[in-house]
Protein backbone atom coordinates (compact mmCIF):
# COMPACT_ATOMS: atom_id res chain seq x y z
CA UNK A 1 0.00 0.00 0.00
CA UNK A 2 1.40 3.40 -0.96
CA UNK A 3 1.26 6.34 1.44
CA UNK A 4 0.64 9.86 0.15
CA UNK A 5 3.66 12.12 -0.41
CA UNK A 6 2.57 14.36 2.44
CA UNK A 7 2.34 11.45 4.85
CA UNK A 8 5.82 10.22 3.96
CA UNK A 9 7.29 13.72 4.25
CA UNK A 10 5.78 14.24 7.70
CA UNK A 11 6.98 10.82 8.88
CA UNK A 12 10.52 11.45 7.58
CA UNK A 13 10.56 14.86 9.23
CA UNK A 14 9.38 13.27 12.46
CA UNK A 15 12.17 10.69 12.42
CA UNK A 16 14.81 13.31 11.54
CA UNK A 17 13.80 15.59 14.39
CA UNK A 18 13.37 12.88 16.96
CA UNK A 19 17.10 11.88 16.98
CA UNK A 20 16.11 8.44 18.21
CA UNK A 21 18.65 6.60 20.33
CA UNK A 22 18.02 2.92 20.87
CA UNK A 23 18.80 1.20 24.15
CA UNK A 24 18.19 -2.45 25.01
CA UNK A 25 14.43 -2.89 25.26
CA UNK A 26 13.71 0.86 24.98
CA UNK A 27 13.42 3.58 22.38
CA UNK A 28 14.44 7.02 23.63
CA UNK A 29 13.07 10.04 21.72
CA UNK A 30 14.19 13.62 22.24
CA UNK A 31 11.58 16.36 21.90
CA UNK A 32 12.90 18.36 18.94
CA UNK A 33 9.37 18.43 17.47
CA UNK A 34 6.26 20.32 18.41
CA UNK A 35 3.20 18.77 19.96
CA UNK A 36 1.26 19.63 16.79
CA UNK A 37 3.74 17.71 14.62
CA UNK A 38 3.65 14.70 16.93
CA UNK A 39 -0.13 14.71 16.97
CA UNK A 40 -0.26 15.02 13.17
CA UNK A 41 2.07 12.07 12.65
CA UNK A 42 0.14 9.98 15.17
CA UNK A 43 -3.10 10.59 13.27
CA UNK A 44 -1.54 9.77 9.92
CA UNK A 45 0.03 6.58 11.24
CA UNK A 46 -3.28 5.59 12.79
CA UNK A 47 -5.02 5.99 9.43
CA UNK A 48 -2.22 4.12 7.67
CA UNK A 49 -2.32 1.11 9.99
CA UNK A 50 -6.10 1.14 10.01
CA UNK A 51 -6.12 0.91 6.20
CA UNK A 52 -3.58 -1.92 6.27
CA UNK A 53 -5.62 -3.81 8.87
CA UNK A 54 -8.77 -3.27 6.82
CA UNK A 55 -7.04 -4.64 3.72
CA UNK A 56 -5.85 -7.72 5.57
CA UNK A 57 -9.30 -8.41 6.99
CA UNK A 58 -11.15 -7.69 3.75
CA UNK A 59 -13.54 -10.53 3.22
CA UNK A 60 -13.03 -12.80 0.24
CA UNK A 61 -16.38 -13.60 -1.38
CA UNK A 62 -17.32 -17.29 -1.48
CA UNK A 63 -20.56 -18.29 -3.17
CA UNK A 64 -22.19 -21.65 -2.41
CA UNK A 65 -24.24 -23.35 -5.08
CA UNK A 66 -26.01 -26.68 -5.41
CA UNK A 67 -26.61 -27.82 -8.97
CA UNK A 68 -27.89 -30.99 -10.60
CA UNK A 69 -24.92 -32.41 -12.47
CA UNK A 70 -25.59 -35.72 -14.22
CA UNK A 71 -28.80 -35.83 -12.20
CA UNK A 72 -26.93 -35.70 -8.87
CA UNK A 73 -26.93 -32.88 -6.32
CA UNK A 74 -23.48 -31.31 -6.46
CA UNK A 75 -22.06 -28.66 -4.17
CA UNK A 76 -19.88 -26.05 -5.84
CA UNK A 77 -18.06 -23.39 -3.82
CA UNK A 78 -16.95 -20.41 -5.89
CA UNK A 79 -14.24 -18.14 -4.55
CA UNK A 80 -14.28 -14.67 -6.08
CA UNK A 81 -17.01 -12.41 -7.46
CA UNK A 82 -17.66 -14.52 -10.58
CA UNK A 83 -20.59 -16.88 -10.03
CA UNK A 84 -21.70 -17.49 -13.64
CA UNK A 85 -18.89 -17.76 -16.16
CA UNK A 86 -21.08 -19.05 -18.99
CA UNK A 87 -23.46 -16.09 -19.13
CA UNK A 88 -20.92 -13.43 -18.19
CA UNK A 89 -20.01 -11.79 -21.49
CA UNK A 90 -18.55 -8.64 -19.96
CA UNK A 91 -14.99 -7.50 -20.42
CA UNK A 92 -14.31 -8.31 -16.77
CA UNK A 93 -14.74 -12.05 -17.25
CA UNK A 94 -11.50 -13.80 -16.26
CA UNK A 95 -9.49 -15.78 -18.78
CA UNK A 96 -8.71 -18.65 -16.44
CA UNK A 97 -10.41 -20.82 -13.81
CA UNK A 98 -8.61 -22.63 -11.00
CA UNK A 99 -10.58 -25.84 -10.42
CA UNK A 100 -10.04 -27.89 -7.25
CA UNK A 101 -10.97 -31.59 -7.09
CA UNK A 102 -10.99 -32.89 -3.49
CA UNK A 103 -9.78 -36.16 -2.09
CA UNK A 104 -12.13 -38.72 -0.54
CA UNK A 105 -14.45 -37.89 1.12
CA UNK A 106 -15.10 -35.06 -1.28
CA UNK A 107 -16.43 -32.56 1.24
CA UNK A 108 -15.77 -29.29 -0.57
CA UNK A 109 -16.23 -26.96 2.48
CA UNK A 110 -13.03 -28.37 3.98
CA UNK A 111 -11.10 -26.91 1.04
CA UNK A 112 -12.44 -23.36 1.36
CA UNK A 113 -9.52 -22.03 3.48
CA UNK A 114 -7.08 -23.35 0.85
CA UNK A 115 -9.17 -21.87 -1.99
CA UNK A 116 -9.37 -18.47 -0.30
CA UNK A 117 -5.64 -18.46 0.39
CA UNK A 118 -4.92 -19.38 -3.23
CA UNK A 119 -7.34 -16.74 -4.52
CA UNK A 120 -5.57 -14.14 -2.40
CA UNK A 121 -2.02 -15.20 -3.32
CA UNK A 122 -2.89 -15.08 -7.03
CA UNK A 123 -3.88 -11.43 -6.49
CA UNK A 124 -7.64 -12.08 -6.70
CA UNK A 125 -7.48 -12.13 -10.48
CA UNK A 126 -8.91 -15.60 -11.11
CA UNK A 127 -11.89 -17.55 -9.74
CA UNK A 128 -11.10 -20.59 -7.60
CA UNK A 129 -13.87 -23.21 -7.59
CA UNK A 130 -14.24 -26.40 -5.56
CA UNK A 131 -16.54 -29.21 -6.64
CA UNK A 132 -17.87 -31.96 -4.39
CA UNK A 133 -17.87 -35.56 -5.53
CA UNK A 134 -21.13 -37.03 -6.76
CA UNK A 135 -23.06 -38.38 -3.78
CA UNK A 136 -20.85 -36.64 -1.21
CA UNK A 137 -23.12 -33.62 -0.77
CA UNK A 138 -26.83 -33.10 -0.19
CA UNK A 139 -28.47 -29.70 -0.26
CA UNK A 140 -29.85 -28.58 3.12
CA UNK A 141 -33.60 -28.46 3.48
CA UNK A 142 -34.98 -25.39 1.72
CA UNK A 143 -31.81 -24.81 -0.30
CA UNK A 144 -32.47 -24.23 -4.00
CA UNK A 145 -30.87 -26.77 -6.33
CA UNK A 146 -30.11 -25.32 -9.76
CA UNK A 147 -30.64 -27.34 -12.91
CA UNK A 148 -27.60 -27.69 -15.12
CA UNK A 149 -27.77 -27.79 -18.89
CA UNK A 150 -26.87 -31.27 -20.05
CA UNK A 151 -24.04 -32.07 -22.43
CA UNK A 152 -25.79 -33.34 -25.59
CA UNK A 153 -22.86 -35.66 -26.33
CA UNK A 154 -22.74 -37.15 -22.85
CA UNK A 155 -23.49 -40.84 -22.41
CA UNK A 156 -25.49 -42.23 -19.53
CA UNK A 157 -23.31 -42.76 -16.47
CA UNK A 158 -24.07 -46.19 -15.06
CA UNK A 159 -22.11 -45.89 -11.82
CA UNK A 160 -22.08 -42.19 -10.95
CA UNK A 161 -20.80 -42.77 -7.39
CA UNK A 162 -17.94 -45.03 -8.47
CA UNK A 163 -14.42 -44.21 -9.60
CA UNK A 164 -15.13 -43.79 -13.32
CA UNK A 165 -18.50 -42.17 -12.73
CA UNK A 166 -16.81 -39.45 -10.68
CA UNK A 167 -14.53 -38.65 -13.63
CA UNK A 168 -17.54 -38.32 -15.95
CA UNK A 169 -19.24 -36.17 -13.31
CA UNK A 170 -16.33 -33.68 -13.32
CA UNK A 171 -16.14 -33.67 -17.11
CA UNK A 172 -19.87 -32.96 -17.38
CA UNK A 173 -19.50 -30.01 -15.03
CA UNK A 174 -16.57 -28.51 -16.92
CA UNK A 175 -18.31 -28.94 -20.27
CA UNK A 176 -21.56 -27.30 -19.17
CA UNK A 177 -20.50 -24.74 -16.55
CA UNK A 178 -17.23 -23.36 -17.93
CA UNK A 179 -16.78 -21.55 -21.27
CA UNK A 180 -14.96 -23.69 -23.83
CA UNK A 181 -12.28 -21.07 -24.43
CA UNK A 182 -11.53 -20.50 -20.73
CA UNK A 183 -8.15 -21.83 -19.69
CA UNK A 184 -8.02 -24.20 -16.74
CA UNK A 185 -5.67 -25.00 -13.89
CA UNK A 186 -6.87 -28.26 -12.36
CA UNK A 187 -5.68 -29.01 -8.82
CA UNK A 188 -6.28 -32.54 -7.61
CA UNK A 189 -5.67 -33.66 -4.05
CA UNK A 190 -5.20 -37.34 -3.19
CA UNK A 191 -7.69 -39.31 -5.35
CA UNK A 192 -8.54 -35.97 -6.95
CA UNK A 193 -5.12 -36.30 -8.61
CA UNK A 194 -6.29 -39.52 -10.26
CA UNK A 195 -9.40 -37.72 -11.51
CA UNK A 196 -7.21 -34.90 -12.84
CA UNK A 197 -5.17 -37.34 -14.92
CA UNK A 198 -8.35 -38.98 -16.20
CA UNK A 199 -9.67 -35.58 -17.30
CA UNK A 200 -6.51 -35.05 -19.38
CA UNK A 201 -6.88 -38.53 -20.81
CA UNK A 202 -10.56 -38.41 -21.74
CA UNK A 203 -10.96 -34.72 -22.59
CA UNK A 204 -7.80 -33.51 -24.37
CA UNK A 205 -9.89 -30.75 -25.95
CA UNK A 206 -10.24 -28.94 -22.61
CA UNK A 207 -7.76 -26.01 -22.42
CA UNK A 208 -5.92 -27.25 -19.31
CA UNK A 209 -2.64 -25.36 -19.02
CA UNK A 210 -1.58 -27.04 -15.77
CA UNK A 211 -2.67 -30.00 -13.71
CA UNK A 212 -1.26 -29.93 -10.19
CA UNK A 213 -1.35 -33.22 -8.30
CA UNK A 214 -0.99 -32.78 -4.54
CA UNK A 215 -0.11 -35.90 -2.53
CA UNK A 216 -1.23 -37.95 -5.54
CA UNK A 217 -2.82 -41.34 -4.95
CA UNK A 218 -2.51 -42.47 -8.56
CA UNK A 219 -1.06 -45.95 -8.06
CA UNK A 220 -0.83 -48.90 -5.67
CA UNK A 221 -3.11 -47.36 -3.05
CA UNK A 222 -3.90 -50.70 -1.41
CA UNK A 223 -0.15 -51.40 -1.01
CA UNK A 224 0.50 -48.17 0.90
CA UNK A 225 0.70 -48.29 4.73
CA UNK A 226 -2.74 -46.67 5.08
CA UNK A 227 -4.10 -48.69 2.17
CA UNK A 228 -3.22 -51.99 3.81
CA UNK A 229 -5.40 -51.01 6.76
CA UNK A 230 -8.19 -49.40 4.71
CA UNK A 231 -8.58 -52.15 2.09
CA UNK A 232 -10.32 -54.77 4.28
CA UNK A 233 -12.33 -52.07 6.02
CA UNK A 234 -13.61 -50.49 2.80
CA UNK A 235 -13.87 -53.57 0.61
CA UNK A 236 -15.49 -56.03 3.00
CA UNK A 237 -16.29 -54.63 6.43
CA UNK A 238 -18.05 -51.49 5.19
CA UNK A 239 -21.29 -53.44 4.72
CA UNK A 240 -21.38 -54.17 8.43
CA UNK A 241 -21.15 -50.45 9.15
CA UNK A 242 -24.00 -49.37 6.89
CA UNK A 243 -26.87 -50.42 9.16
CA UNK A 244 -25.56 -48.86 12.40
CA UNK A 245 -24.57 -45.75 10.44
CA UNK A 246 -28.14 -45.29 9.20
CA UNK A 247 -29.71 -46.23 12.53
CA UNK A 248 -27.52 -43.82 14.51
CA UNK A 249 -27.35 -40.82 12.20
CA UNK A 250 -30.45 -40.83 10.02
CA UNK A 251 -32.96 -39.94 12.79
CA UNK A 252 -30.94 -36.92 13.96
CA UNK A 253 -32.60 -33.58 13.19
CA UNK A 254 -30.58 -31.14 11.08
CA UNK A 255 -30.05 -28.86 14.09
CA UNK A 256 -28.43 -31.69 16.06
CA UNK A 257 -26.19 -32.57 13.11
CA UNK A 258 -25.24 -28.92 12.79
CA UNK A 259 -24.33 -28.72 16.48
CA UNK A 260 -22.32 -31.95 16.38
CA UNK A 261 -20.48 -30.86 13.24
CA UNK A 262 -19.54 -27.54 14.84
CA UNK A 263 -18.28 -29.33 17.96
CA UNK A 264 -16.19 -31.80 15.97
CA UNK A 265 -14.63 -29.09 13.79
CA UNK A 266 -13.95 -26.94 16.84
CA UNK A 267 -12.27 -29.81 18.72
CA UNK A 268 -10.11 -30.52 15.66
CA UNK A 269 -9.41 -26.77 15.28
CA UNK A 270 -10.60 -26.89 11.66
CA UNK A 271 -11.72 -23.61 10.05
CA UNK A 272 -15.50 -23.53 9.57
CA UNK A 273 -16.06 -21.51 6.42
CA UNK A 274 -19.16 -23.48 5.49
CA UNK A 275 -20.84 -25.93 7.81
CA UNK A 276 -20.20 -29.44 6.50
CA UNK A 277 -23.40 -31.25 7.51
CA UNK A 278 -22.61 -34.01 5.03
CA UNK A 279 -19.97 -35.31 7.44
CA UNK A 280 -22.86 -36.81 9.42
CA UNK A 281 -25.14 -37.71 6.51
CA UNK A 282 -25.34 -41.53 6.07
CA UNK A 283 -25.98 -41.25 2.31
CA UNK A 284 -22.75 -39.29 1.83
CA UNK A 285 -20.66 -41.46 4.14
CA UNK A 286 -21.82 -44.64 2.40
CA UNK A 287 -20.92 -43.19 -1.00
CA UNK A 288 -17.50 -42.12 0.28
CA UNK A 289 -16.87 -45.66 1.53
CA UNK A 290 -18.06 -47.12 -1.78
CA UNK A 291 -15.71 -44.85 -3.73
CA UNK A 292 -12.90 -45.79 -1.35
CA UNK A 293 -13.46 -49.49 -2.00
CA UNK A 294 -13.07 -48.93 -5.74
CA UNK A 295 -9.92 -46.89 -5.16
CA UNK A 296 -8.33 -49.81 -3.31
CA UNK A 297 -9.26 -52.29 -6.03
CA UNK A 298 -8.75 -50.27 -9.20
CA UNK A 299 -6.05 -47.65 -8.62
CA UNK A 300 -3.15 -50.04 -8.98
CA UNK A 301 -1.04 -49.35 -12.04
CA UNK A 302 0.17 -45.83 -12.74
CA UNK A 303 -1.06 -44.43 -16.08
CA UNK A 304 2.37 -43.77 -17.56
CA UNK A 305 0.99 -43.22 -21.05
CA UNK A 306 -1.20 -40.28 -20.00
CA UNK A 307 1.57 -38.86 -17.81
CA UNK A 308 4.07 -39.03 -20.67
CA UNK A 309 1.66 -37.39 -23.11
CA UNK A 310 0.85 -34.47 -20.80
CA UNK A 311 4.07 -34.25 -18.79
CA UNK A 312 4.78 -30.54 -19.58
CA UNK A 313 1.43 -29.63 -17.97
CA UNK A 314 1.90 -31.73 -14.85
CA UNK A 315 3.29 -30.85 -11.43
CA UNK A 316 3.52 -33.63 -8.84
CA UNK A 317 3.95 -32.89 -5.14
CA UNK A 318 4.76 -35.81 -2.84
CA UNK A 319 4.97 -35.86 0.95
CA UNK A 320 7.76 -37.29 3.08
CA UNK A 321 5.35 -38.48 5.78
CA UNK A 322 2.47 -39.57 3.54
CA UNK A 323 1.20 -43.05 4.40
CA UNK A 324 -1.21 -43.03 1.45
CA UNK A 325 1.54 -42.29 -1.03
CA UNK A 326 4.94 -43.18 0.48
CA UNK A 327 8.24 -41.67 -0.59
CA UNK A 328 9.17 -44.74 -2.64
CA UNK A 329 6.37 -43.78 -5.06
CA UNK A 330 8.08 -40.41 -5.49
CA UNK A 331 11.41 -42.13 -6.09
CA UNK A 332 9.83 -44.34 -8.75
CA UNK A 333 8.26 -41.33 -10.47
CA UNK A 334 11.57 -39.44 -10.53
CA UNK A 335 13.28 -42.50 -11.97
CA UNK A 336 10.66 -43.06 -14.68
CA UNK A 337 10.16 -39.38 -15.55
CA UNK A 338 13.46 -37.59 -14.78
CA UNK A 339 12.46 -34.62 -16.95
CA UNK A 340 9.13 -34.13 -15.16
CA UNK A 341 8.27 -31.49 -12.56
CA UNK A 342 8.12 -33.89 -9.63
CA UNK A 343 8.65 -32.36 -6.20
CA UNK A 344 9.19 -33.73 -2.72
CA UNK A 345 7.89 -31.80 0.28
CA UNK A 346 10.63 -30.32 2.45
CA UNK A 347 8.28 -28.99 5.15
CA UNK A 348 6.77 -32.24 6.50
CA UNK A 349 3.32 -31.17 5.34
CA UNK A 350 0.85 -34.02 5.96
CA UNK A 351 -1.41 -35.65 3.38
CA UNK A 352 -4.43 -33.79 4.79
CA UNK A 353 -2.82 -30.36 4.31
CA UNK A 354 -6.20 -28.59 4.17
CA UNK A 355 -6.50 -28.47 7.96
CA UNK A 356 -3.29 -26.81 9.11
CA UNK A 357 -1.11 -26.13 6.06
CA UNK A 358 -3.52 -24.62 3.54
CA UNK A 359 -1.66 -21.28 3.48
CA UNK A 360 1.73 -22.91 2.89
CA UNK A 361 0.32 -24.99 0.04
CA UNK A 362 -1.45 -21.99 -1.48
CA UNK A 363 1.80 -20.00 -1.40
CA UNK A 364 3.68 -22.79 -3.17
CA UNK A 365 1.02 -23.38 -5.81
CA UNK A 366 0.81 -19.65 -6.56
CA UNK A 367 4.59 -19.54 -6.94
CA UNK A 368 4.54 -22.47 -9.38
CA UNK A 369 1.89 -20.73 -11.46
CA UNK A 370 3.12 -17.13 -11.32
CA UNK A 371 4.90 -17.12 -14.69
CA UNK A 372 1.88 -18.45 -16.58
CA UNK A 373 -0.63 -16.35 -14.67
CA UNK A 374 1.36 -13.18 -15.29
CA UNK A 375 0.69 -13.63 -19.02
CA UNK A 376 -3.09 -13.74 -18.54
User: Nearest 5°: CA angle at 187, between 148 and 93?
Assistant: 55
Q: Which residues on adjacent β-strands are paired with residue 69?
A: 72
| Catalytic residue from among 190, 222, 224, 293 | 190
Question: What's the chain's average pLDDT?
Answer: 83
Please report the pLDDT score of residue 176 as a whole number.
94
Please say if 363 is a catalytic residue.
no
Half-sphere exposure at residue 208, Cβ-oriented, CA atoms within 13 angstroms:
28
Mean pLDDT of 310-335: 97
Mean pLDDT of 221-240: 89
Neighbours of 251 (CB within 10 A): 8
What CA–CA distances, in Å, run from 14 to 33, 47, 50, 348, 360? 7, 16, 20, 46, 38
Please say if 351 is a catalytic residue.
yes
Nearest alpha carbon to residue 245 among 296, 293, 290:
290
Please say if 322 is a catalytic residue.
yes
* Entry pTM: 0.80
The domain segmentation of the chain, as residue ranges, is 5-57, 76-224+292-373
DSSP type of residue 284? H
**Superfamily of the domain at 76-224+292-373:** Alpha/Beta hydrolase fold, catalytic domain (3.40.50.1820)
Kindly indicate the confidence band of residue 6, based on its pLDDT and cuts at 50, 70 and 90.
Answer: very low
DSSP type of residue 34? -
Please report the pLDDT score of residue 181 as a whole number.
93
Mean pLDDT of 214-219: 98
| C-beta separation of 80 from 98 below 8 A | no
The Cα 134–Cα 73 span in angstroms is: 7
Residues 235, 138, 146, 179, CA torsion sign: negative
The Cα 269–Cα 43 span in angstroms is: 38
3-class secondary structure, 127: coil
The Cα 124–Cα 256 span in angstroms is: 37
Kindly indicate the confidence band of residue 55, based on its pLDDT and cuts at 50, 70 and 90.
Answer: very low
Query: Does the pLDDT at position 52 exceed 90?
Result: no
Query: Does the pLDDT at position 264 exceed 70?
Result: no
Query: Does the pLDDT at position 25 exceed 50?
Result: no
% pLDDT > 90, the chain: 59
Mean pLDDT of 283-298: 94
**b/e per residue, 206-236, with b = 16+ CB within 10 A?**
bebbbbbbbbbbbbbbbebebbeebbeebbe
Q: Which of 13-17, 53-57, 215-219 has the highest mean pLDDT?
A: 215-219
Q: Which has more confidence, 215 or 242?
A: 215
The Cα 271–Cα 132 span in angstroms is: 18
Kindly indicate the confidence band of residue 262, based on its pLDDT and cuts at 50, 70 and 90.
Answer: low
Mean pLDDT of 31-55: 48
138-163: pLDDT as tens digits = 888 888 999 876 666 666 788 999 99
User: Nearest 5°: CA angle at 103, between 262 and 260?
Assistant: 15
Amino acid sequence: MELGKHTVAVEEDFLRKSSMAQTPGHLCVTNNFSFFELNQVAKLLKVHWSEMDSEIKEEIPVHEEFILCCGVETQVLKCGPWTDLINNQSGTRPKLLIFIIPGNPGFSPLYVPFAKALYSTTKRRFPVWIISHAGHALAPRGKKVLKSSEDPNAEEIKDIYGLHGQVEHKLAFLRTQVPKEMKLVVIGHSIGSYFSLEILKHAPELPVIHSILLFPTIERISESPKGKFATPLLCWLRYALYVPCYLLLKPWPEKIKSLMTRMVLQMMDIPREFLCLNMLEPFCLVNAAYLGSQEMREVVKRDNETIKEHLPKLIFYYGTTDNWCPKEYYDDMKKDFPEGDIRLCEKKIPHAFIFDFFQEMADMVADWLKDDLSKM
